[in-house]
Amino acid sequence: MKTSWKTILLWTLPTLVIGFFVWQGAFATAPAEFGKNTASTRMSYGRFLDYLEAGRVTSVELYDGGRTAIVDAIDPQLDNRIQRLRVDLPNNAPELIARLRESNISFDSHPPRNDGALWGLLGNLIFPILLIAGLFFLFRRSNNVPGGPGQAMNFGKSKARFQMEAKTGVLFDDVAGVEEAKEELEEVVTFLKKPERFTAVGARIPKGVLLVGPPGTGKTLLAKAIAGEAGVPFFSISGSEFVEMFVGVGASRVRDLFKKAKETAPCIVFIDEIDAVGRQRGAGIGGGNDEREQTLNQLLTEMDGFEGNTGIIIIAATNRPDVLDSALLRPGRFDRQITVDAPDIKGRLAVLEVHARNKKISEEVSLEAVARRTPGFTGADLANLLNEAAILTARRRKEGMTMLEIDDAVDRVIAGMEGTPLIDGKSKRLIAYHEVGHAIVGTLLKDHDPVQKVTLIPRGQAQGLTWFMPDEDQGLISRSQILARITGALGGRAAEDIIFGDSEVTTGAGGDLQQVAGMARQMVTRYGMSDLGPLSLESQQEVFLGRDFATRTEYSNEIASRIDGQIRTIAGHCYQQACQVIRDNREVIDRLVDLLIEKETIDGDEFRQIVAEYTEVPDKERFAAVL
């Protein structure tokens, strides 16, 4: 395991500190050196005098300036053997030397050594030097680490990632499904490469391009493609990197970013998630955020201030254009707003072809069928779909992915991981009737999407699933189609009610009822598809704190009561229609349930073939008349 320099330093500095104090304490408390044969046994001064008078002392060595003596004495208790003893002498005993001479006892005096003071001085000098050297090493190394301690003086510097020649590895050919956006952005690339073509007719370069769209549609990928195609210097930064806890730091970073951009113009500045810094100013709730507002003000000034930023094109991306400040969106700052929406069926097919280049796919796989089955998928969703299919292929040890792996990947992405199949019993039969109820109602309603498959294999929180596949992308939905979807969503609860009785109705229809309530309310309050008339009573715009916090409702209590009544009427009529379909087709439902319990999955074609043996699909006029 490789140890980083920070870890080594964190362990070394505390060790030096502890070692220094231990060292100092050792030299402060260590006794003087008493020779090679230092005595370990002590003897009192009074006893030493007794031994001296009795003639038992043979030699004396004085240490530590005459304060300590090492005495060789004859001990009668040890068979008159000589014992080496240590004696602490008082300071006021000058007569001791005279008595030793009178008794003809050999003695020697050793001058005190100054080693302790020397080592103490060295310790006091070495430790500060080591500490300063360690701190110098720390700050020197951290200067090369983004965000390290050495960056304390660089708070105001821009954190933009800069490439002199933008080799992002992404070109327009690698971006599919957003052809309209690519056409708009190709003009920006052409202007960067050949500006004289536009300036000759008086056109000026757009200062800013705002990419708007839901997450995963390819906004960041488009910015990389622009940089790759243009081949000009490319600055990339996220909106959140401008905002810091210190007031004025974000504005300083904006100034530093544009200063660097001017030095390398023409160039591209890409700001991802600009809503983090470009939200509306002066919301008035909670006092606001001065740091964010100062950063936004500086950004507005740099984009269209007194100084021109010729040759600098700002490309920003966001999925929340409704919360951006209006001053940021005006012409002269962001001249163009390009919508990058989820691709249609042709766009999904193109995206699948791009992501299928480096994957082994069997010849039987139809990417067009996959594109038709994945309405609403973004480019990121489709890339994840093929990656999940490739993982399943490797897990099953196949040479190439087939439609089975792709279908399983679609189910996993939409509904979650596959669970353990239910054992045969009452619960499994009830779930089978519930799912067949959805499928039979959806099949017998002309305006409903066709059934793709019915399964009892649990996925995520669902114990069973019924998949519907639209024939084409539906930008506009008619009233009859919405009513058909509401009726199909109520088919499961209707089957439980008719087959098992009201007392055996389960909580399995909870999610279905939420969808029913949402669709019915939108019919009444947004699309004018009720007896209240063609009125839009609710805004589709999300609430923004400060702007919409205190706004009143757009209708009175009486209208609110009528809205609730209309929702109940729509749901009640659709539920009665679903119950009638279940009663009229009980025989085929029982057969389909037995088959579903046996096989656990029935695909749409087989399901429709069995239903066609018993009944015909009602026409649109009959369905509308009943409702």
Q: Please list the residues that pair with 270 across neighbouring strands.
A: 236, 315
Give dist(CA 210, CA 335) in Å, integer: 8
Locus of tokens 């490739």? 390
Instruction: Give the orientation angle of helix 491-500 with respect to helix 557-584, to 10 degrees.
Output: 60
- Nearest partner of 485 among 623, 619, 610, 379, judged by Cα: 623
- Is the four-CA dihedral 432, 433, 434, 436 of positive or negative sign? positive
Give dist(CA 491, CA 497) in Å, integer: 10
Instruction: Say whether 305 sits in a helix, a strand or coil.
Output: coil
Please give the C-alpha separations between residue 440 and each of 590, 591, 615, in angstroms, as whole numbers.
Answer: 11, 12, 11
- Nearest partner of 277 among 255, 300, 254, 293, judged by Cα: 293
Q: Please list the residues that pair with 406 across neighbouring strands.
A: none
Residue type, 18: I
> Residue 537 contacts by C-beta under 8 Å, 6 or more apart in sequence?
524, 525, 526, 554, 555, 559, 563
Which helix (H) or strand (E) is 6 found in, with range?
helix 5-29
Instruction: Say whether 591 sits in a helix, a strand or coil.
Output: helix
Please give the C-alpha separations between residue 281 and each of 109, 292, 295, 320, in angstroms, as whole numbers.
Answer: 89, 9, 11, 15
- Nearest partner of 529 among 442, 537, 470, judged by Cα: 537
Query: Within a 10 A sphere around the Cβ of 443, how many other Cβ atoms?
Result: 25
- Is the four-CA dihedral 428, 434, 435, 437 of positive or negative sign? positive
Q: Which of 61, 302, 388, 435 does the annotation list as catalytic?
A: 435
Please give the C-alpha separations between residue 283 and each of 77, 173, 380, 543, in angstroms, as whole numbers.
Answer: 99, 43, 34, 13
Concatenate the DSSP letters of all residues of 314-369 into one string: EEEEES-GGGB-HHHHSTTTS-EEEE-PPP-HHHHHHHHHHHTTTS-B-TT--HHH
- Nearest partner of 448 among 331, 207, 590, 618, judged by Cα: 618
Q: List own/partner pairs for 61-65 with CB under 8 A and 24 or more apart.
A: 61/34, 61/35, 61/107, 61/108, 61/109, 61/110, 62/89, 62/107, 62/108, 62/109, 62/110, 63/32, 63/33, 63/34, 63/35, 63/110, 63/112, 64/32, 64/112, 65/112
Beta strands in 262-311 (DSSP E): 267-272
Per the annotation, the verdict on 435 as an active-site residue is yes
- Residue 242 — φ and ψ, nearest 5°? -80, -25
Give dist(CA 62, CA 69) in Å, integer: 5
Q: Please list the residues that pair with 88 across neighbouring strands.
A: 68
Q: Measured in Å, how far apart are the chain's first and last C-alpha atoms?
A: 72
> Active-site positions?
435
